Amino acid sequence: MRSLLAQIIHRLQLRESWVIFFILGIIMMTFPFMHIFNQPVLLFGFPLMFLYLTVGWAISITVIYLFMIASRTDDRSAAEKDEP
Amino acid sequence: MSSFMSSVATVSVVYAVLIFLIALYAHQRKEKKRSIISNPVVYALSLGVYCTTWTFYGSVGKAATTGIDFLLIYLGPSLTAFSWLFLLRRIIRISKEHNITSIADFISQRYGKSPWLGALVTLIAFLGIMPYIALQLKAVSTSFNLLSGARPSATGFITVGSGTDIPTGLILALVLALFSIIFGARRLISSERHEGLIAAVAFESLVKLVALLAVGLFVTYGMFDGFTDIFTRFRNSNPERFAQLFTINTSGSNPDYISSFTLLFLSMSAIMLLPRQFHVMVIENSHEQHITTAMWLFPVYLFLINLFIMPIAIGGILTTGSSSNADYFVLSLPQQAGYHGIALLAFLGGLSAAAGMVMVESIAISTMLLNHIFMPVIVRFTPRAWFPVLLINLKRFGIVLVILLGYYYFLIIGDSYTLVNMGLISFSAAAQFLPAMLGGLYWKRGNKAGAISGLLLGFLVWLYTLLLPSFSMSGWISKTLLSQGPFGIALLKPTELFGLTEMDLWSHSLFWSMLFNISSYIICSILITQGENERDQVHRFIGVFDKKELRPRTEQKRLSKPVTTEQFVTLLSKFIGESEARLAFKQYSNGHVGTGTISEFELPNLKRFTEKTLAGSVGGAAASAIVSSFLSDLGSSMEPVFDIFSSVRTNLDQNRESLFVRLKASEIINRTLDLKVIMDDLLTLLVKEFKLDTALISTRTDEGIFTITSSQGELVQQQSPPAWYLEHGPFIALAYGDQKTHFINDLRLERAAPPLDQTVAEGFIASAHIPIYREGEPVIAVLSLFSKSIAGLFTQEFIELLASLAGQLAQAITIVQEVDAKQQERSQKEAALLKTARITRDMEIAQQIQKSFLPDAAPVIAGVDIAGRCISAAHVGGDYYDFFLRGDGIVDVVIADISGHSVGAALIMSEVRTLLRTEANSTHPPQAVLETLNSQLHDDLSRAELFITMFYAEYNSATGVLCYANAGHNHPVLLRSGDAFFHELDADGLILGVKKEVVFEEQSIRLVSGDVLLFYTDGLTEASTTDGELFGTTRAYNHLKAYRQLSAAEILDSFYAVVHKFTGSQDLQDDISMIVIKIL
């Protein structure tokens, strides 16, 4: 478990991971995904769209938080190496 | 009512004082270098300035009317946060390095410090933001009225019971302007951080959050039973409305996701590109590492502040039954429920949201106004002493202008469509910066023309498709423009441009503006080439993380006329004040050179530093203009360094040309030991490779005069050194003396001392004198280079190369000199040996000849046994003996000693022999022979400073009579038979060569059988032992006596043997000649 987390954090140090999550975030905010959740229904007493955006948001913040931890554990020189 | 109003007013004032104190505290902490602002949490909170009253009040309003898609405005920034580690870090790094003061400055600096671009960005920002400020003022005064129950008049004035009108909006505007000036425009330097301001903004962000959370919690859990309760009740009571608010754009049959994407896109750009966001994010950033915290903390902030928006909106609808006035649900819900405290907190939250936004925005815009609108005008005037005062006050004026214009806007537009939607209109305006910004950061080819045209087109489209319709909807301009298009051209309808229908206002505007903006940016960037200034900046911006760029770059520019540090300080003083200028230069000189004389290579750095410092106050474009106009006033300008080496560089911090020259030079040096060839070839190489006109090497003679040892180029044809060369004597002498290179890069501009008028007249414009020496040794020669075409030829890099070549040459010269010296020594030795050998050989030959002059054998005469012998000490000797046989039984015997053992003596001897031979044929008596000989030889002898002693005897065997004459010679000794005594034969006479006329006495004696006669030279008697004991006459006589029985030859042999034995050596000190005559 611990090594898995370490591995995830290691992967998050890659510049590609940032770009992937960024693009993923934009995709989640547009047509296909939005359409899925664009229903006027309640789920657990919450409107579906409200739930989707709020939970999705919270998840994205968690991901950024993990990124931050990854970038802190990252050697500074490695971060600069990734920089074009 | 009025008492509540006054209490609201009091709370507002107290709150304002609190904010002021916090800001003051932060400012003082900064002055003490113990910043409370330099903290990632404060940084993240300060980014919360993104949430204005538009968020605080407007979000609820939007949620209650259009639904949940308002969240996209905050989801966008959250997504952008993913890119901050790269994008924001890059922007911050660049901004710190260039002392960037605003987003206008950033874009302008990226594109070659273009003043036009800066002005354009400022204009867009100014137009886009001013109504946004109006919105803040409106929101606060409305909320104040709402809370206090005052009835606002149409002009925004509220009427208090007594009838006095209180312009709340104006008071707020003035207070905010004052705050902004105090914390944002205390000093001119805009690139420095305003800690008081940020402390206030961060605190306000906190208040906003707390207020909204409090209201949210109150509504959700106080008025209702949690989220699910609100949502369920709403759905049950109004399912249609529920469906509308909790889905996105379902008004049509087909849901439209374009508008939601537009919102997302606009908010994503706005979070970085709105002037106030750029200001707090970039300019006020104290540490790059704060980004990593802000990346998640800021989204958390946005998340929390939006968490209760939906419940508040729905709660409001449920409570009031409609969504009218939903904008102020935050305030009205707790107020109506009787919770004035929460309502007051909400009011303070709204006030904070407005205050933070207005302050930061006005400071950011006023900085832009000053740097990009006022400065381009100001730089046209000569700087004056009062400029710092003018500039700072202009900046303050800018703040007041922005806020008051916002207030004016609020007054005339009031409660119109424009104001409500101003937030998004501002976002759309800011989004126009995106292509130029991103392209500027990552696309090297992106250029000024592209940025200006793209921004301008995007701005115009924005103006036409968004601002114009909003004005039209507000009733400012005729609505027919919207419905029919300009001049009735339907294709040009602002909201349906080129027939693009069924698109919402924002998406429509965004699409067209971005299309024109981006395509123009790209097309112009590709078609038009970048200017030199632009290229410089591209490298600095895009290569900001490039490690290669970290090492000091080789200077590409030089100042054509040197400028002193003091002149720069004076210039800087005129804009930022003397004390600031001195401080800046002091800090600079700590890391660099002293303030005294600075090298030419340091000047461009100093110029860049001045420009950068100035840029921190007046923006990059203006700073650049100020410095160049200052330089041109001085008659100096930045001119490109003649790039003698192309920009291709190898890993060795070298370049191909330099390496090539070094390689060639070492080839030349190692090819031969002929210095002349080495020097000539090296000079030819330099002349050819660096396009010089003349290259020469001068050396100093012992008299201290410089002579040209070798020269290539124009001087070659001339015989004597030309006058212009002689002018350089002092410089060459200087190079000799201090072992440093002395160069003048532009003779036309730099006054050389002593003057070089002839050189200038000759057409030379650059010269350098490089000492040729080995480390720690005196200078051997000086290499001088002259160019007629290239000013600024002698760059630091070039001088280093030349110095290194001179070092190589010095090494070669030393080696050649050493080799030469050894060679010379060897040949001298050889010559000496050869000479000695030749002399020895000559002497041997002379000895042979001399020996041949002596008689081979004694004459044979009956009754007499004669033997004679001479053994020379040196190769040629001065002894001589001879026999002349005259007719029957008469023989002449002669023995002589010529002083010295030189060749001269030998020559005289041969002359004597010749003369005697002639004389001997005559029948003169001995005395006559000597007399004749003396007179003949006198001149020669006195000339050669030689003398001759001679004994001449004539023996007649028939009579037995020996006649003899003596010229100072050793007396021969006669040992008579039967007699134990020695008889010395003597006759008066002077040594030959002393006097011309000498009379010699002639003696005669009759010899009888058994007599032994010994003639000898002084070599015999003066032969000595090593102790100095002489052989002596006694020993000689005794020896003769002892050996008289032997034959004449044997007697001679025994003599030589005894002398050798006596001296203990085979070599004689002097010639020994002896003749023995034995009468049988």
> Using CB atoms, which residue from B231, B255, B257 is nearest to A46?
B231
Please report the residues numbered 912 through 971 in chain B whose beta carbons come closer than 8 angstroms to any beta carbon of chain A. none
Q: Are B85 and A67 in contact (CB < 8 Å)? A: yes
pLDDT at B515 over 90: yes
Specify the amino acid at residue B1003: Q
Say which CATH number the domain at B1072 has: 3.60.40.10
Rounded to a whole number of angstroms, the distance from the CA of B542 to the nearest CA of chain A is 9
Please report the residues numbered 415 through 444 in chain B whose beta carbons come closer than 8 angstroms to any beta carbon of chain A. 442
Rounded to a whole number of angstroms, the distance from the CA of A5 to the nearest CA of chain B is 19
pLDDT at B593 over 60: no
DSSP tag of B410:
H
Q: Which residues of B touch A44 (CB under 8 A)?
A: 228
Say which CATH number the domain at B765 has: 3.30.450.40
> Using CB atoms, which residue from B232, B239, B243 is nearest to A45?
B232
pLDDT given at position B520: 92
Rounded to a whole number of angstroms, the distance from the CA of A13 to the nearest CA of chain B is 11
**B777 inside domain:** yes
Q: Over the stretch B214-236, which tens digit does the pLDDT of each residue have?
A: 999 998 888 888 888 888 888 88
Q: Which residues of A touch B243 (CB under 8 A)?
A: 40
CA distances in angstroms from B820 to B763, B814, B829, B831, listed in the order given: 40, 10, 14, 16
- Please check whether residues B207 and B341 belong to one and the same domain: yes
- Please check whether residues B363 and B449 belong to one and the same domain: no
Q: What confidence category does residue B453 fall into, taking pLDDT thresholds of 50, 70 and 90?
A: very high
> Using CB atoms, which residue from A39, A45, A61 is nearest to B78?
A61
> Using CB atoms, which residue from B82, B243, B303 is nearest to A22?
B82
Q: Are B83 and A31 in contact (CB < 8 Å)? A: no
- Please check whether residues B531 and B591 belong to one and the same domain: no
B247 to chain A: nearest residue by CA? A38
Q: Are B299 and A60 in contact (CB < 8 Å)? A: yes
Q: Which residues of B touch A74 (CB under 8 A)?
A: none
Rounded to a whole number of angstroms, the distance from the CA of B401 to the nearest CA of chain A is 39
Nearest partner of B700 among B755, B610, B778, B817, judged by Cα: B778
Backbone CA torsion sign across B43, B49, B50, B55:
positive
Q: What confidence category does residue B976 fall into, taking pLDDT thresholds of 50, 70 and 90?
A: confident
CA distances in angstroms from B1026 to B949, B986, B1017, B1060, B1065, listed in the order given: 27, 32, 20, 12, 9
CA distances in angstroms from B659 to B651, B654, B772, B802, B803, listed in the order given: 12, 7, 20, 12, 14
> Using CB atoms, which residue from A35, A53, A60 is nearest to B68?
A53
- Please check whether residues B764 and B785 belong to one and the same domain: yes
Q: How many CB atoms lie within 10 A of CB B1061?
A: 9
Query: What mean pLDDT value characterizes chain B?
Result: 81
Q: Which residues of A touch B78 (CB under 8 A)?
A: 25, 57, 60-61, 64
pLDDT at B310 over 70: yes
Candidate from A47-51, B105-109, B194-198, B657-661 with smallest mean pLDDT: B657-661
In contact, B42 and B298? CB cutoff 8 Å: no
Domain boundary among B372, B387, B416: B416
Q: Over the stretch A16-28, which tens digit does the pLDDT of each residue have?
A: 777 888 888 888 8
Q: Over the stretch A24-71, which tens digit does the pLDDT of each residue have?
A: 888 887 777 777 777 777 778 788 888 888 888 898 888 888 877 777
**B646 inside domain:** no
Dump the DSSP string for B311-338: HHHHHHHHHHSS-TTGGGHHHHHHHHTT
Q: Which residues of B touch A49 (CB under 8 A)?
A: 68, 246-248
Q: What confidence category does residue A14 fall into, taking pLDDT thresholds of 50, 70 and 90?
A: low
**B535 inside domain:** yes
> Using CB atoms, which residue from B79, B83, B545 is nearest to A83?
B545
- Please check whether residues B512 and B386 belong to one and the same domain: no
Rounded to a whole number of angstroms, the distance from the CA of B285 to the nearest CA of chain A is 18
pLDDT at B923 over 80: no
Q: Are A57 and B303 in contact (CB < 8 Å)? A: yes
Could you tell me what percent of chain B has a pLDDT over 90? 7
DSSP tag of B283:
I
Determine the residue among A12, A41, A48, A60 to mutate to test chain B binding: the one whose Cβ has the most chain B Cβ atoms within 10 Å.
A60
- Please check whether residues B538 and B578 belong to one and the same domain: no
- Please check whether residues B470 and B338 belong to one and the same domain: no
Determine the residue among A18, A19, A20, A26 to mutate to test chain B binding: the one whose Cβ has the most chain B Cβ atoms within 10 Å.
A26
Q: Are B264 and A29 in contact (CB < 8 Å)? A: yes
Rounded to a whole number of angstroms, the distance from the CA of A61 to the nearest CA of chain B is 6
Structural domains of chain B, count: 5
- Please check whether residues B570 and B532 belong to one and the same domain: no
- How many distinct helices (H) and strands (E) make up chain B? 43, 19
Q: What is the mean pLDDT of residues B1008-1036?
A: 87
Q: Over the stretch B645-670, which tens digit does the pLDDT of each residue have?
A: 444 333 344 566 677 777 888 888 77
A24 to chain B: nearest residue by CA? B79
Q: What is the mean pLDDT of residues B849-861?
A: 82
> Using CB atoms, which residue from B81, B86, B247 is nearest to A64?
B81
Q: Over the stretch B152-179, which tens digit does the pLDDT of each residue have?
A: 544 444 444 444 456 777 888 888 888 8
Backbone CA torsion sign across B33, B38, B39, B45:
positive
Residues 6+ apart with CB under 8 A from B986: B966, B971, B1003
- Please check whether residues B32 and B120 belong to one and the same domain: yes
**B844 inside domain:** no
pLDDT given at position A80: 46
- Please check whether residues B748 and B812 belong to one and the same domain: yes
Q: Over the stretch B337-347, which tens digit does the pLDDT of each residue have?
A: 888 888 888 88
pLDDT given at position B717: 57
Q: Which residues of A touch B83 (CB under 8 A)?
A: 18, 22
CA B581 – CA B587 distance, rounded (Å)? 10
In contact, B766 and B792? CB cutoff 8 Å: yes
Q: Which residues of A touch B85 (CB under 8 A)?
A: 18, 67, 71, 79
In contact, B903 and B850? CB cutoff 8 Å: no
Q: SS3 of B1024, please?
A: strand
Domain that holds residue B130: 2-185+195-251+260-416
pLDDT given at position A82: 45
B72 to chain A: nearest residue by CA? A29
Q: What is the mean pLDDT of residues B981-1010?
A: 87
A61 to chain B: nearest residue by CA? B296
Q: Are A47 and B231 in contact (CB < 8 Å)? A: yes
Rounded to a whole number of angstroms, the distance from the CA of A1 to the nearest CA of chain B is 24
- Max mean pLDDT among B181-195, B433-447, B643-657, B697-711 falls in B433-447
CA B226 – CA B219 distance, rounded (Å)? 9
CA B729 – CA B731 distance, rounded (Å)? 5
Q: Are A18 and B83 in contact (CB < 8 Å)? A: yes
Nearest partner of B176 among B351, B53, B364, judged by Cα: B351
CA B934 – CA B948 distance, rounded (Å)? 9
- Please check whether residues B671 and B814 belong to one and the same domain: yes
Q: What confidence category does residue B951 fall into, taking pLDDT thresholds of 50, 70 and 90?
A: very high
Residue A40 in contact with partner chain B when CB distance is under 8 A: yes
Residue A32 in contact with partner chain B when CB distance is under 8 A: no
Residue B41 in contact with partner chain A when CB distance is under 8 A: no
Rounded to a whole number of angstroms, the distance from the CA of B296 to the nearest CA of chain A is 6
Q: Which residues of B touch A70 (CB under 8 A)?
A: none
CA A10 – CA B973 distance, rounded (Å)? 129
Say which CATH number the domain at B386 has: 1.20.1730.10
Partners of B960 in beta bridges: none
Q: Are A45 and B228 in contact (CB < 8 Å)? A: yes
**Sequence spans of domains, chain A:** 2-82
> Using CB atoms, which residue from B78, B235, B442 is nearest to A42?
B235
Give me the half-sphere count of Cα atoms (radius 13 Å) on the Cβ side of residue B265.
Answer: 20
**B848 inside domain:** no
- Please check whether residues B528 and B626 belong to one and the same domain: no
Q: SS3 of B152, please?
A: strand
Residue A10 in contact with partner chain B when CB distance is under 8 A: no
ipTM computed for the complex? 0.84
Q: Over the stretch B673-719, which tens digit does the pLDDT of each residue have?
A: 788 888 888 888 888 877 788 888 888 887 777 888 888 877 655 66
